[in-house]
Amino acid sequence: MAFKSQKFEFVEVIIPAGVTATRFNFPDLPKLRYTALMGMETYTASDITATPTGNTPIAVADMQNAFLVLYADERQDLYRIPLITLHRTQNAANDPFVRSLFEFVGQKVTWDKSYVEFATAPTGQLSIPFAVYYV
């Protein structure tokens, strides 16, 4: 059965310039509170040139260094998902992507406890844009 989206939200984790941190929490997302997560994907600077907030999207090299941690159903069971596994747009021969949407089973995510973690601190200001499919 093919995935069918009922609701969609574009969200960003914004990373300020000059930081040395490696963990960046999702902002408060009131529209996504008490919703069931069905799927997620992310975009790079090769996919979109700017986000709705005017920030530059993450580069592929930075994405390959990043991991997603979702605090869902009062647990941290979705731990260190390689961010690159959520990238579905094929742009070039050397641009990694997956064909299928990363699907979930309706977990209730506590977004302000969820975060993106880098193996090494990213350089410069950037945004990690996410497409969130939910019901």
What pLDDT does residue 3 have?
A: 66
In the three-class reduction of DSSP (H, G, I as helix; E, B as strand; rest coil), residue 33 is classed as coil
* Model pTM above 0.75: yes
The answer to whether 135 touches 78, Cβ cutoff 8 Å, is no
What pLDDT does residue 133 have?
A: 96
pLDDT one digit per residue (tens) for the chain, 135 residues: 466 778 999 999 999 999 999 999 999 999 999 999 999 999 999 999 999 999 999 999 999 999 999 999 888 989 999 999 999 887 776 777 787 889 999 999 999 999 999 999 988 899 999 999 999
What pLDDT does residue 95 have?
A: 77
Q: In terms of DSSP bridges, do strands 23-25 and 37-42 run parallel, antiparallel, or are they unpaired?
A: unpaired
What pLDDT does residue 123 have?
A: 82
The answer to whether 108 touches 73, Cβ cutoff 8 Å, is yes
> Hey, how many other C-beta atoms are within 10 angstroms of the C-beta on 106?
12
Residue 135 burial class via C-beta count within 10 angstroms: exposed 0-12, middle 13-18, buried 19 and up: exposed
What pLDDT does residue 93 have?
A: 61
What residues does each domain of the chain span? 8-134
- Between CA 22 and CA 120 the distance in angstroms is 6
How far is residue 49 from each of residues 66, 69, 94, 108, 112, measured CA to CA in Å? 20, 25, 18, 31, 26
What pLDDT does residue 2 have?
A: 62
> Hey, how many other C-beta atoms are within 10 angstroms of the C-beta on 38?
21
Dihedral sign for Cα atoms in the order 14, 16, 21, 22? positive
What pLDDT does residue 131 have?
A: 97
